[in-house]
Amino acid sequence: MKAVALISVALTSVSPLGAASPTPTITPESSRPTSCLAAEFRQFDFWLGRWKVTNLQGKEVGTSEISRVSQGCAIREEWKANSGLSGASINYYDTADHQWHQDWVGGDGTILHLHGGLKDSAMVLVGNTKSVNGTVVNRITWTLVPGGKIKQAWATSIDNNDSWHIAFVGIYEKQP
């Protein structure tokens, strides 16, 4: 009986239920890992905030909340379209390839894996997806425009970048 109790105690000690969470505890800004303090990690900070998003005609099409997560090592986007659909992305700078990456999942099933960086003061991320017609190149550009707004333009190409179709253009206006 003693052996069974000892085995039970030993199993409880290594049980996943008793194991510590793999999520690190939240630490103050000053003790954040130094790898996320480099200037490159701040290149997309202009996108941070709560935004009303309109189309080019000025009609509101949705809202977006962009915030820093993971002790400042990533940026999370939470999109809510007026149509009722939503989506989210995680954006991060990878020091291994010196590029920004975005992984997007839309409520309509759209999945994008994009990469890139700053080009002429705009953030430009590109990536390929597969469709019934072959490979689609996706290019999303975020550009600061007058009045503290941001223009997000999503273009697609099915002919190896010879021509582009505008999939979405949104003007982001910061909200209090």
- For residue 62, list its beta bridge partners: 53, 81
Q: What is the pLDDT of residue 34?
A: 65
Give pTM, 2 decimals: 0.80
Regions of the chain where pLDDT drops below 50: 1-21
What is the chain's alpha carbon radius of gyration, rounded to the nearest angstrom?
21
Q: What residue ranges define each of the domains in the chain, with the CATH number in brackets?
A: 36-175 (2.40.128.20)
- Quote the mean pLDDT of the chain: 86
Give tens-digit pLDDT for 134-144: 999 999 999 99
Closest CA to 46 of 114, 148, 160, 147: 148
How far apart, in Å, are the Cα atoms of 49 and each of 22, 33, 40? 29, 23, 19
Residue 112 and residue 154 in contact, taking contact as beta carbons nearer than 8 Å: no
Residue 28 and residue 45 in contact, taking contact as beta carbons nearer than 8 Å: no
Q: Rounded to an integer, what distance in angstroms lies between the CA atom of residue 8 and that of residue 57?
A: 68
